[in-house]
Structure 1
Amino acid sequence: MRQISFFAVLFFFFGALNAQDQQSVNVGDELIITSPISHNYKYIDVPRKNFIIKRGGIANLKSLENRKAIVKDISTEGDEVVVTLVPANGGKFFNVYRELKADLADALDNGELQKVEG
């Protein structure tokens, strides 16, 4: 019985730490968009290349790597925390899009987004 209660407390403690880490991102915080693990971004909602080209943009995914973005809005969709990102330099993503959306928890866990230390 002691082992079960010990593991329950331990599980609760680590769950609280994980939730606290995700909630430490606020509106106005600066994040860095890093390179994706696979060929495409999975947790940042990046439009497909043909949509970027149709709108007159430059469909270069490498232009997102190491780019700073500011959190404009935080919303909850189901059980996901979704953030709206705008470029820190005031420009546009791919010279077309003013904002991108991302699943905060999964993007931070998989390294597509990083917090700016400071």
Structure 2
Amino acid sequence: MQLAAVASIPAAPATLGETGRSVWERVWTAGQVWLSPTTDLDVLTRLCEAHDEREAMRDQVAQDGYMVAGSMGQMRAHPLLSEIRAIEAQITKYESLCGFTPTDRARLGYAEVKRASKLDELIARRQQRGAG
């Protein structure tokens, strides 16, 4: 089944904060060729909400510092650091499900467009001259 490219970016869910809305715009713009509002809305919403949560946790760590006092007064790594790593792994999974790595796009049937370098252009011109 071939899906039509997204003509316009769907409205961002009301659950998204500033970071989530920014990610929403970015992923729909980048993936407009293969994303579908009918099938991808839920996972993209979770992806953007996860970005909001990650941002909030990072802000809290920035406020508290990387090291915080433990229950016995000892210094230890902020407990949110492990939560940030966990949500980053989940973000990566959501991105993969939506085709945001070259391997995933190939799996979905969308080839990566390779931009020709100056060297590639020069080689092609020389080959054309030699053949003609």
Question: If the length of structure 1 is used for normalisation, what is the TM-score?
Answer: 0.26
Larger RCO (alpha carbons 8 Å, 6+ apart): 1
- TM-score w.r.t. the length of structure 2 is 0.24
Greater per-residue helix proportion: 2
Larger strand percent? 1
Whichever of the two has the greater Rg, that structure is 2
